[in-house]
Amino acid sequence: MKKLHQFGMLILMIALLVSCNSKNEEKHADHKYQQSIYYSCSMDPQIKEENPGKCPICHMELTPIQKDNGAYNEITLSDQQIKLGNITMQKSSASEQSSQENFTGVLTLNQSNVKSISARATGRIEKLYFKTEGASIKKGQAVYQIYSEDIAIAKQDYISAYKQMEIPGDFGKNAKSMMQAAKQKLSFYGLSNAQIEAIKRGKEVSPYTTFYSNYSGTVAEITATEGSYVMEGAPVLKIGNLSTLWLETQVNVNYAKQLRVGQTALISFVDFPSKEITAKVSFINPEINASSRLLLIQMEVPNTNLALKPGMQAIVKLTKSNTTGIFIPADAVIRDQNGSSIWVEKSKGVFKNIKVTLGTESNGMVELISDLDLEAKIVITGAYAVNSEFEFRKGNDPMAGMKM
């Protein structure tokens, strides 16, 4: 009887032990399940809670989210999510494309056709005959009048030598050479032969001298003012020839790699929508703008009827043909402050975010110039759906952990 009682106690203890282990396993399984999900807000995905409840920001009910334990820049999607997100992929194979890029440019003066009229001697500008930029000027027109003691002294030397030539003997002969030297000095100051000859006929020597234009064109810039004191060589005004203009624009440095001097571009103008002309690239700046990563190029634009004016805006259409590379839809690229990236299918249902460098972009397609596995399947539609799901689950940017 005693043995039977002991055996019963043993059975009871075993039953209690099994029951406790079962409860512990259930608790452990329940804890493991609880740890595999978290609760987040669809409006504020940065909110992560271990227990259900309401969002502390917008007070909406939190949604249970299955944790994704993959790499920091990877996400796993179900077949249903891929279908609902319209997520499709294509292999990153190389292809040839002809691309046309449009750039905005501005017409400027052709600096090779700009002439400068400068002060020929130190003095004071008494009168400016042109006071408005853009005015037409013809060769031979008066530009400015200057009061100059240096020119006045040279005039006096010239007229004195001229009068002394009438004295007989050696004195008169010496006066001839003095007169020739004074004439050369006046020519150096910019006086024409007609102005020099007029000195002989004058009753007195004037300290004022008028200078005339040697060019025809348009007044591009006026740098002096009436009453101002100028030094010899100081610019008074600039004259531009508008028969040709420069069109300046800036292009992406990746696109500029294939440009060349002499390449033809199609130009249209904002002020003349129906007007299109062709121009050739005349200059490619060898220096890249460090902040914008853009490159300045110039084209010489004919302006036979002078309808085009400096400052007008133009659209430059540049074509780059038969470019070989990896081209994908521009919408397949995720762009933010950290750079550009794409999503690729690592394995069935598993997507990985990869940082990329972009090349030319045209007609809705963009070139990838990063090294990629040609067998990699790039997400070409639904890339932003993948990205949004990633941020919703992990609450951060998939590029946040990449080295920039």
Q: Mind listing the pLDDT tens digit for each residue in 246-272?
A: 999 988 776 777 788 888 889 999 888
Core vs surface per residue 21-56: b (16+ CB within 10 A) or e: eeeeeeeeeeeeeeeeebbbbeeebebeeeeeeebe
Whether residue 123 contacts residue 230, with contact meaning beta carbons closer than 8 Å, is answered with yes
Whether residue 354 contacts residue 340, with contact meaning beta carbons closer than 8 Å, is answered with no
Give me the sign of the Cα torsion angle 200, 204, 209, 211.
negative
Q: Are strands 74-76 and 208-212 parallel, antiparallel or unpaired?
A: unpaired
Instruction: Return the pLDDT at 163.
Output: 82
Burial of 284 by CB count in 10 Å (0-12 exposed, 13-18 middle, 19+ buried)?
Answer: middle
Please give the radius of gyration of the chain, using alpha carbons only, rounded to the nearest integer: 42
The number of beta carbons lying within 10 Å of the beta carbon of residue 363 is: 12
CA distance 210 to 190: 10
**2.40.50.100, 3.30.70.270, 3.40.718.10, 3.30.390.50: which CATH number matches 116-239?**
2.40.50.100
Instruction: Return the pLDDT at 90.
Output: 85
Instruction: Return the pLDDT at 29.
Output: 39
Kindly state the tokens that stand for 116: 């400068």
Instruction: Return the pLDDT at 124.
Output: 96
**3.20.20.70, 2.40.420.20, 3.80.10.10, 1.50.10.20: which CATH number matches 69-97+325-394?**
2.40.420.20
Q: For residue 278, give the nearest of 270, 286, 268, 287 by alpha carbon.
A: 268
Q: Where are the domains of the chain?
A: 30-67, 69-97+325-394, 100-110+242-323, 116-239
The CATH superfamily label for domain 100-110+242-323 reads Efflux pump adaptor protein, beta barrel domain (2.40.30.170)
Cα 240–chain centre separation: 27
Whether residue 384 contacts residue 351, with contact meaning beta carbons closer than 8 Å, is answered with no
Place of tokens 């460090």: 290
Task: Provide the 8-state DSSP code for 54.
Answer: B
What is the chain's pLDDT, residue by residue, as a tens digit (404 residues)?
445 455 556 555 655 554 545 444 444 434 443 446 777 776 776 677 888 888 888 888 887 766 665 567 888 888 888 888 899 988 877 666 556 678 899 999 998 889 999 999 999 999 999 999 889 999 999 999 999 999 999 999 998 888 887 776 666 668 888 888 889 999 999 999 999 988 888 778 889 999 999 999 999 899 999 999 999 999 999 999 988 999 999 887 767 777 888 888 899 998 888 888 888 899 999 888 888 888 899 999 998 888 888 899 999 988 766 666 788 888 889 988 778 899 999 888 889 998 988 877 767 778 788 777 777 888 989 998 888 888 877 766 666 655 54
Instruction: Return the pLDDT at 150.
Output: 92
Q: Do domains 100-110+242-323 and 116-239 have the same CATH topology?
A: no
